[in-house]
Structure formats: C-alpha cells, structure tokens
Structure 1
Amino acid sequence: MGRFKMENDRLVVTIDDLGAELVSIYDKKYSRELIWQGDPAWWKRQAPILFPNVGKFYGGEYLYQGRHYVQDQHGFARDYVLERVEESPASVTHRLVSNAETRKVYPFDFELMITHRLDGDKVDIQWQVKNTGDHPMHFTIGGHPGFNVPVLPDTEYSDYALKFAEDQDELHFIRIDMNTGTGLPDKVYTMMLTDHKYQLRKDLFDLDALVFDGGQIRQAGIVMPDGSDYLTLLCDGFPNFGIWAAPGAPFVCLEPWCGRCDNFGYEGELQDKPGINSLNVDETFKKVYSIVIGG
C-alpha cells in the first residue's frame, strides 16, 4: 500500500491506494491544502468513494431475492487497498474487483475502476463500474470529498459561503433521520440563495447532512470571505447531492451521488429501491465529476 502523487505548475495531488482516496490537493499558488486532513477528533476520512452503497440501509440491511444482507454505511470500497493498474504523470487508475469477502455482503461480481486526472487547475474523478457476473447488479455510488474551511488565517467558518449555479435562487433538500441514518422525503426544506450563495454556519449540520434530490445541483462551490472562488465542484447529471460536516468541524463535504441512502422505513427489494443503478451482464456505468481550484 502506498500513495501516488502528481504535480503540475499549480497543484500537487495525492491519492492513497487505500480506497483510492484523494488525500491532498495542495495549491502551490497560495501555499495551502484544500483537502481535510482526516483528524479523527472530527472525521477520520478525507474523500472516500462510496460503493456499492451511498449512506445507510434502513435497519442496516437490505433485501435481495428474499435474503437479508447486512451492509455498513457507505459500503466497503473505501476500506480496500485498490490495485494501481495505470499510471502517468497526470493520472492514476485504481481497480477493485469482487471477491469472496465482498460477496458475503454484496452478492454481485463487479469491476470498479477509479481514475484521478490532473489538468491545470482541475482534478477530474472518474468512476467506472462493470457487471462481470451472470445476472443484473444493483448499486449506488458517490463521492465524499471534504474541504478545509476556514482556509485563511484569522477567518471564521461563517465567513465562507456555498455557491451554486448562476441560474439558481433556491434549492430544495430533505433531512436525515438521526436514529436510522435514512432519508425523510416527506418534508422538503427550501434553501434560499442570495446571489447564488448561501452562508455557512456552525450549526448548519447539527441535524446531519442536507440531501438534494432531482439532479438540482450541477455545480457547488465554496467562496472566500471576499467573495472570490475557493473551489468549485462540477457535477452536471448527478441525480443526488449531499452537503455535510461533523457538527462544529472545520471542513465541509460536497458530495456528488448517483443514488443515496434508503428512505426511512424502506424494506423492499434492493432492485426496487428509489434511485438505484442497475447494470445488465457485461454492461458498464461511467460517471465523472471535477474539482476546479479558484484564484
């Protein structure tokens, strides 16, 4: 197990073989680290890949072909050392394939490929999932990058703001049931934006993540106290999105998802879960999002 580093004139990007996790984006122009460095006092991870499930199943288990499978929040890919299968000065691809251990909790054969690519002031993250089994497979997948906030000296969390697409003046989100970690879709909240922005607050995540469904978020960024761009995450075409931080912690996660946690009380079959992705035999799923560094 090791780490892969790529560098250009602007950025130094580091990927850990454990989970193919993005553990550093160092901005040489401003001499600052963008990625949360995983202080376990708040949250030990940094930018895990969520596969084969985003979030929690209701009751901590799911039903497939009449059998119950126990599966942890966010799946298992983040806890495996992935094989590095392709390297270049500006990109690296990791691979995870199904095995006897994964089949105990997830009865499908698959190949997961994760590529990180450095391009100027931008980092692209690509997921590719292939069904290598002999029957359809069902999954959700997501990103979970955490970004340091505040990042400037002598500034506070509430000095920073979230920024969304220029044609948006409001967004709609649901909350998570704190006891089960599952979605509460029956009550929808409105986030009113001012100049496409929403000010961060220390108490914003006291009730867990904000969950945005319906492909609302095509891009989400963080802006500096002076209104300049800190970073922007581009994710057009992603049906779900989460924004989260541990309560009071000095970071914020911008999370593009394809599918999400169960709705509260869902006890149906996996393939019938709202938002599930399904692949036929030999079929491949591919998705890319990008982190663009501002300034």
Structure 2
Amino acid sequence: MRQVLENEYLKVSVEDHGAELVSVYDKENEREELWQAEPPYWNRHAPILFPNVGKHHDNTYRLNGKEFRTSQHGFARDREFVCISKTASVLTHKLVSDEETRSYFPFDFELYITHRLEERQLSVEWKVVNTSGEIMYFTIGGHPGFRVPIWEGSRQTDYYLLFQKGPALKYKLVYGDSGTADAAGEYTLNLEEADGYYRCPITEHMFDRDALIFDDTQVEWVGIGYPDGTPYVVMECEGFTNFGIWTMPGGPYICLEPWMGRCDDYGFAGDIYDKKDVITLKEGETFDKSYRMTFYK
C-alpha cells in the first residue's frame, strides 16, 4: 500500500513494501524529482539498506566464528513494513525480526522508518532497537536516486556535484565485480570553489567502477547542482561516517547515499565486530539517526 504526505510544495509517496520512498512530486515545478525505477536501468527508488550496506565479503557475515549467508544491502528493502503512525506531515513504518530474518541476521530487533515533510524539506529518520539478549552489530544506509538530467534539453554531464568541504575529497572504489571496497586504492576528487560551494562536474565515466565511496565523515552536506551551478537537491547528513555516490553508467539519475558503515573491504574475513564503522548496539539500547533532503525550485 502507498502512503502519501503532502503540503503546498511537495507530494511525497512511501510504499509499505520496504518503507521505500517512491515519489517526490514538486507541485510548484510540476515535475517528479525522484528516479522512477525505469527500465533498463535501476529498478528501485530509495531503498533502506539494513542490516548491511553493500556486500559482506563472499556474501558472508561472521560472528564468533559462525557464518551467515547474506546479500547486497540486506533484507529490509524487500520486506513488508507496517504503517504504525500517520499524519499530514509525518509517517512511521515498523519492521520486526522473525525466524526468516534471524537466519540471515542473528538478532532480534525493531526497525522504525519515519518520513517527515516540512515545506520543501523531507527528513528520513531511522530507529533501531536491540530486543535480543546480546550485543547487535549492523550497518544502515539510505539510497535515494534523483532524476539527472531534470531540465528538458540538458544532459547529465551538464550538472555538478556540490560539497561544503574542499578543495579535495578522498574516495575508494569497488574491487572488480566483488561489490566490496578496494581498500588498497585511494583516489582524489578535486573540487573548484564557485558561488559558495566546492563543486565538480558529473562526467561521463565517473561511475565506470561503481560507486564513489567516501569514509571518515568527509561528506555531511552534498548536493546536485543545475547546469548554472545552483542547487537542485541538497542532502544533509551530519555525523554520518560514510557516503556513496552512484549511478549505473548511462543511467539518467544520481544516487546520494548516506551510510552508517559500508560494504566490507575486499578480502575481509574477520568477525563483524572487527569491521570498521560497524554499529554496536547493546541489549535494550536504541540507535537513532536521520538525514534531510531539500528540493530547490
């Protein structure tokens, strides 16, 4: 079932399946802002990544020597959530662990996803409650895709990535087709300062090796700029340890991905608690995090 939040500026739609944001319609500009899962490209809109961002090495989660088979980005995006609360501007979904999830992820949990609409801003809030009798380890992330190009007659390569930090950022790439990070390689994204931002153009081959992976809380503010350099959409994600930027090569969209934790490094074979940036949640504790998107005219 599809739930709707709406004000004078935006109409936002969220599916119960995956608690996934599937539409942000800009009423003033009369256009859809979110990628609409169109073939032959990516068939999602803005999935929630839980209990793992990206892939574990060899699709295996290890805890105290025991192995659990996993898949890319976890199971939450493919599960039915229950809508437990709804007003004109705030919507909350809930997912609870069961026998099936425990075969993949050996913990009991409650996962709450809240979408909050205020004027031209949409916030996404996560709450994870550890209801098991042991320490829980996980990563969690967002994956919204935005239509780029958005102006008629423009090309994706006419647009910019915008940042508040500069003049350069360090990033990693995916190792081959493993879905895990090439920890040995580090690259530099050089930025120019213009109109109060640090920016770089979106180039044709920028994503030939999958996502750009930023670690160490480098990216807490990022946007996509119109061809004239002004912001189209901005994401704020204060305190997020990791960030990904991605599109399928040739795809007319760009994903801005705020992560708490990320895919394994290629070859990582340790227990999950040894993984960098993994979230550790004690019995009965709650994890809360949120990010915000602003859509400009």
TM-score if structure 1 supplies the norm length? Answer: 0.98
Pair 1:193 & 2:195 matched: no
AA at the equivalent of 2:172? I
Q: 1:184 aligns with which of 182, 186, 192?
A: 182
Q: What do residues 74-111 of structure 1 show as CA deviations (whole Å, max 9, x unaligned)? A: 00000001000111000100000000100011100000
SS at match of 1:225: coil
Q: What do residues 127-161 of structure 1 show as CA deviations (whole Å, max 9, x unaligned)? A: 00010010110000000000000011100011100
Equivalent residue number for residue 19 of structure 2: 20
Structure 1 CA distance for aligned equivalents of residues 154 and 112 of structure 2: 39
Equivalent residue number for residue 235 of structure 2: 233
AA at the equivalent of 2:249? P
Equivalent residue number for residue 208 of structure 1: 210
AA at the equivalent of 2:169? L
Structure 1 CA distance for aligned equivalents of residues 274 and 39 of structure 2: 36
Pair 1:269 & 2:271 matched: yes
Pair 1:162 & 2:171 matched: no
Structure 1 CA distance for aligned equivalents of residues 238 and 187 of structure 2: 22
Q: 1:171 aligns with which of 145, 169, 172?
A: 169
Structure 2 CA distance for aligned equivalents of residues 136 and 175 of structure 1: 31
Point out the more displaced range, 89-98 or 57-66.
57-66
SS at match of 2:41: coil
CA contact (8 A) 1:16 1:23 kept: yes
Equivalent residue number for residue 92 of structure 1: 91
Structure 1 CA distance for aligned equivalents of residues 75 and 38 of structure 2: 21
Q: What do residues 13-69 of structure 1 show as CA deviations (whole Å, max 9, x unaligned)? A: 010111000101111111111100001411101100000000001111121121111
The aligned runs of 1:1-295 (5 Å cut-off) are: 2-165=1-164, 167-195=165-193, 196-295=198-297
Superposition misfits of 4+ residues, deviation over 6 angstroms: none
SS at match of 1:175: coil
Structure 2 CA distance for aligned equivalents of residues 40 and 213 of structure 1: 31
AA at the equivalent of 1:192? N
Identity of aligned residues (%): 44
Structure 2 CA distance for aligned equivalents of residues 184 and 240 of structure 1: 15
User: Per-residue deviation at 1:178?
Assistant: 2.2
CA contact (8 A) 1:223 1:229 kept: yes
AA at the equivalent of 1:186? A
Structure 1 CA distance for aligned equivalents of residues 112 and 54 of structure 2: 20
SS at match of 1:124: strand
RMSD across aligned positions (CA): 0.8
SS at match of 1:185: coil
CA contact (8 A) 1:178 1:208 kept: no
SS at match of 2:111: strand
Unmatched 5+ stretches in structure 2: none
Structure 2 CA distance for aligned equivalents of residues 278 and 63 of structure 1: 15
Structure 1 CA distance for aligned equivalents of residues 64 and 159 of structure 2: 47
User: Per-residue deviation at 1:202?
Assistant: 2.2
CA contact (8 A) 1:22 1:47 kept: yes
CA contact (8 A) 1:130 1:284 kept: yes
User: Per-residue deviation at 1:203?
Assistant: 1.4
Structure 1 CA distance for aligned equivalents of residues 22 and 177 of structure 2: 30
Q: How many residues are treated as equivalent by the alignment? A: 293
Structure 2 CA distance for aligned equivalents of residues 186 and 129 of structure 1: 32
AA at the equivalent of 1:153? E
Structure 2 CA distance for aligned equivalents of residues 218 and 278 of structure 1: 21
AA at the equivalent of 1:183? A
User: Per-residue deviation at 1:179?
Assistant: 2.5
User: Per-residue deviation at 1:252?
Assistant: 0.4
